[in-house]
Amino acid sequence: MPEEREIVQQRGLYFEEFDESVLYRHRPGRTVTEADNVLFTTLTMNTQSLHLDAAFSASQPFGQRLVNSMFTLATLVGSSVAQLTEGTIVANLGFEKVAFPHPVFHGDTLYSETIVTGKRLSESRTGQGIVTLEHTARNQDGVVVATAVRSTLVWCKEARQ
C-alpha cells in the first residue's frame, strides 16, 4: 500500500506573502517568434504595417518589423502569474505607467521581474488586499523593453483556508 504524500499545488502568493523588499525574477524567458507576433497582431485586429509588412517596415526607422507592444505587455505580465498570482488573484484592478522604451524584434528573448511597491488590506472586501506591482521586461542583452505598474486584488491567506 503506497504511503500517503503531502499534496503541494503550485500557486501564487497570498496578500501576506508579498514582500516589498524582494525582487521577483520570473523564469524561464520567452523568445518571441515571427509567428507569435503575426498571430497576436491578427487575433487582436491590429492592422499596423509595422507588425505585419516586412517590406514597409524595412523602409522605416528601425528597418524591420516590430513586435506588437501589447504582446510584449501581455508576456511581461503573464510571465509573473505562476510565481505571484496563480490561484490567489481576485482581479486586476488597473495598469498605469506602461512604457516601451526600446523595441522588441523577432528573435528577442524577454526576461521579466517584479517588485512590490505597495500593499494594503481592502477597505470594502474582507479577506482581500490590494497589491501594487511594478513589472519590468528586459531583452537578452539586459535592455529594458517594457515597464508597467499593475494594481491587483488578491486573497488573504485566512480567507482561502
Asked if residue 3 belongs to a domain, the reply is no
Q: What does the alpha-carbon distance between residue 114 and residue 134 come to, in Å, rounded to a whole number?
A: 5
- The single residue listed with the C-alpha cell 506591482 is 133
Asked if residue 7 belongs to a domain, the reply is no
Asked if residue 121 belongs to a domain, the reply is yes
Asked if residue 2 belongs to a domain, the reply is no
Domain that holds residue 51: 15-160
CATH number for the domain including 150? 3.10.129.10
In order along its 161 residues, the chain shows pLDDT tens digits of: 678 999 888 899 999 999 999 999 999 999 999 999 999 999 999 999 999 999 999 999 999 999 999 999 999 999 999 999 999 999 999 999 999 999 999 999 999 999 999 999 999 999 999 999 999 999 999 999 999 999 999 999 998 86
Asked if residue 5 belongs to a domain, the reply is no
Q: What is the pTM of this model?
A: 0.92
Asked if residue 9 belongs to a domain, the reply is no
Report how many domains make up the chain: 1
